[in-house]
Amino acid sequence: MGRFAVAADPIERHRPGWVASPSAAITIRRRIPSPMRDAIDRVVARSRAGERLTWTIYTPVDVCFVPESQSEQPALGSREEKPIMIPPKTYQFLVGVFASLGSFNYGYDLGVIGGSVASSSFISKFNPNPNEVYVHKPPQLLHVPRPLTHPLPSSGAVVSLFTGGGFFGAAVAGPMGDMLGRRLAIMIGAIIFCLGGALQAAGQNISFFYAGRAVGGLGVGILVMIVPMYQAEIAHPSIRGRVTGLQQLMLGIGAVLATWTVYGTNLHYDNESQWRIPLGLQIIPAGILALMILLFPESPRWLIDHGKEEEGLKTLAKLHANGNESDPWVQAEYFQIQSAIAHEHEHAAKGYRDLFTDRSSFRRLFLVTALQASVQMTGVSAIQYFTPDIYATMDIGTTDSLKYQAISNVLSVLAQLCTVLFIDKLGRRWPLILGNCINCLCFIIVTAAIARFPHVAPSVQNSLGWLFIVTNWFYQVSFSFTCGSLSWIIPAEVFDTKTRSKGISIGVMTSFAFNTMIGQITAPAIKDIGWRYFLLFVICNFTNAIFFWAFMPETKLLPLEEMNALFSSTSWFVPGSSHKHVSDLDARVEEAKSNKEDMVGGQVEELH
């Protein structure tokens, strides 16, 4: 198949304007107006008769060819239809959307579990203590100790078994992704999640249900570790934040669908369908992901790293140039990946131990683990898991609390959509800093209000409830637009190919570890110390902002292969660093273009 490019300047009359094999001419004839096709057919016939390779065509459009092979010559006059070409960045985005079904499952579980375990039928089914008194509308405010709407041991275990399973899932996902590839690891994670969802939906006793939580968490741990890494490795640098930001967007969409599903089942059912239907529905997207992920391209970086250079080049071309392997950007990226991987094999960190001994790798690991821990310490998990209990302390019933949380999740999705649209323009560093500042302000408002008005009339209590609701909505928007999305984007892009899966694995394990801790301590903390518990999140959000201002460099638009140079050459203390890393990928692309122009005598059409 001939490669082609449109010439920059018109070719003069009586000057040879075409250089090609006949098969190349047949290929290009589909891309030009029909009156010119007859001219091509006549010239191809002459060429085949006399076995000539160079001829003259007088047309208003000048096209030059690079001859490749005389052996593959389609039949003369072939009238193949032009295939529909999806713009490469659109294709990358769509692949990222499908892979994000793994994140959708995580968000769905976050949204479904709080309402499910708070439903009356769940409490009746799994109450381990028949003498326990359940209070759905306690008359006291948040800071006053009172019974929760469901047993504390059960609620803590339901949350912690899932996040504990996620911890171990993330631990095995790193080696699994390196050994089996990104797609196969995603498929395995989705299958495990399906099994966990089935166990939860069909649970007949609390032990059965707990087993489903742990198995489902194991599958989610694999998915949320592998998916953003896969997205980062297939995306063009200019849209990498947008594609990896889909992780949080789909997580939010999953939470929205879950909360409205639970709200609907609690409204229309008074039996076990209140929680069995929502928990069973999560099997559907996970099953679709498991069945279809192998139809999508493997990470080209994983292929090249495992000695499959030819397949890696084809995948790069498919992702970035509609299959054109000679595209300058594809060639530049391919050689940059090869060069980076060769350097990593020889000099850079390769295993878990090297992540702690190599200075550049440890810096990235330190930032990623700090980021994942800090996100949990913003207070988001406490709000997600225990919103029904927090609302109940303000005399808001279960049905209304589910409705308000569903509205909150809709607002979160809108904020996450804004992240996908704008994060590659805004960058990573300052949104992370400002997001933590806004989160801190939200917790200050709520904590101060509850502490200031410990005993109030019912009318004021209602106003205090609305203050919490509105501030919670504002907090969710801030978190979703900044910290939530960036907690997936940054870890997926800062590591090199040899350590990426291992580094992300440790980061996600850190997230689940802190998530588990929050799940265990939040319910008893609310019961025992009330509003004072939220002072923890005021302090953590403030210190998070200072930490990332001091230590987080900007990574937007940099190719993945240049992260080594960024973290090796810049100072740990970012505000005091005068060195600015400049990407050399553009220079490589221009060099590849120049080489191709010298070869074909024209200006190359860019597709990526």
What's the per-residue H, E or C state across 173-200? HHHHHHHHCHHHHHHHHHHHHHHHHHHH
What's the distance, CA 116 to chain centroid? Answer: 26
**Could you give the angle at which helices 485-494 and 398-426 cross, rounded to 10 degrees?**
40
Q: What is the pLDDT of residue 4?
A: 39
CA–CA distance from 495 to each of 347, 460, 560, 567 (Å)? 15, 52, 8, 10
Say yes or no: 503 and 464 in one domain. Answer: yes
Say yes or no: 416 and 283 in one domain. Answer: yes
Q: Does any domain span residue 528? A: yes
What's the domain count of the chain? 2
Q: Does any domain span residue 599? A: no
Q: What is the pLDDT of residue 542?
A: 98
Q: What span, in angstroms and rounded, lies between the C-alpha atoms of 335 and 322?
A: 19
Q: What is the pLDDT of residue 170?
A: 96
Q: Does any domain span residue 145? A: no
Q: Does any domain span residue 233? A: yes
Q: Using an 8 Å Cβ cutoff, are 523 and 386 in contact?
A: yes
Provide the whole-model pTM: 0.76
Q: Does any domain span residue 577? A: no
Q: Does any domain span residue 17? A: yes
Q: What span, in angstroms and rounded, lies between the C-alpha atoms of 575 and 542?
A: 18
Q: Using an 8 Å Cβ cutoff, are 472 and 383 in contact?
A: yes
Say yes or no: 50 and 104 in one domain. Answer: no
Structure tokens at 253: 């969409």
- 290-298's contacts with Cβ under 8 Å and 24+ in sequence apart are 290/187, 290/190, 290/191, 290/194, 292/98, 293/98, 293/99, 293/183, 293/186, 293/187, 293/190, 294/183, 294/184, 294/187, 296/95, 296/98, 296/99, 296/183, 297/95, 297/234, 298/181, 298/182, 298/183
Which residues of the chain, if any, have pLDDT below 50? 1-31, 44-45, 47-80, 130-153
Say yes or no: 514 and 475 in one domain. Answer: yes
Helix, strand, coil in percent for the chain, rounding step 5: 70, 0, 25
Say yes or no: 376 and 450 in one domain. Answer: yes
Say yes or no: 533 and 387 in one domain. Answer: yes
Q: Using an 8 Å Cβ cutoff, are 379 and 443 in contact?
A: yes
Please name the amino acid found at residue 2.
G
Q: Does any domain span residue 595? A: no
Say yes or no: 61 and 161 in one domain. Answer: no
Domain carrying residue 393: 92-126+152-296+348-563
Q: What is the pLDDT of residue 68?
A: 40
Say yes or no: 433 and 512 in one domain. Answer: yes
Say yes or no: 66 and 105 in one domain. Answer: no
Q: Does any domain span residue 568? A: no
Q: For residue 256, what is the domain's CATH number?
A: 1.20.1250.20
Say yes or no: 364 and 504 in one domain. Answer: yes
Give the CA diameter of the chain. Answer: 101
Say yes or no: 62 and 190 in one domain. Answer: no
Say yes or no: 44 and 9 in one domain. Answer: yes
Helix H or strand E segment including 5? strand 3-6
